[in-house]
Chains A and B, each alone.
Chain A
């Protein structure tokens, strides 16, 4: 089960993921991010505090937007991952390629720095 909620706050968007991302539902995550990228949102926060599990299907979705994020100079920050989920990003070194912060406060600081 995966629930995705989108909230616009000032000039940024929070995508809250609740549940588990696997091959059965990663397309939902893909569509949610695709909409934001296509809509030219420049600041996106992914709230992973309620994300219980992620498999390669979910990792693949994030990885597939890395080029867009760079080309469009978007801010794309994931925060609040529990240790198990964070470790899955770490196994392949994806935590070095994506911006991952511990909590919302740190994510917001990063959003507005520079």
Chain B
């Protein structure tokens, strides 16, 4: 099954994203902890785009496509903002985050820890970030 959510680029939309994802994951046989991790990872990518690529402009939107298969779930996040290639992004060291009293930089670290695969492609002014989580993984 494929489901889609269009989200306007406002930080206040993140709670709606979480509700959408919670419903979507309801019938999947994963622990609450794993489901929360998946919701978190998708939110981190979306909030990154909303804040950094679209500077919270409510006229912009991002499109989330979710595909549920038997053994995996795939999240495709599409936008047409400044391309943010999550794969090329060099996340900071935790020690630097602490020393520099930085409040950002942890989100992408979480996504990379949680998801089984992350792909990024950009074409014709569209960027797609594809996150996949295997439903068999422990």
Residues of A within 8 A of B (CB): 1, 20, 22-24, 26, 30, 53, 55-57, 59-61, 63-68, 83-84, 87-88, 91-93, 97
Contact = CB atoms under 8 A, between A and B. Distances in A.
A56 B37 contact: no
Interface in B56-112: 94, 97-99, 101-107, 109-110
B135 interface: no
A21 B50 CA distance: 17
B15 interface: yes
**Tier of interface size on chain B:** 20 to 34
Contacts, number: 83
Is chain A's binding surface mostly helix, strand, loop or mixed?
Answer: helix
B14 interface: yes
Given A53-B36, A67-B98, A84-B32, A26 B43 contact: no
A111 to B, nearest CB: 23
A55 B107 contact: yes
B113 A92 contact: yes
A93 B50 CA distance: 27
Given A23-B51, A60-B104, A91 B113 contact: yes
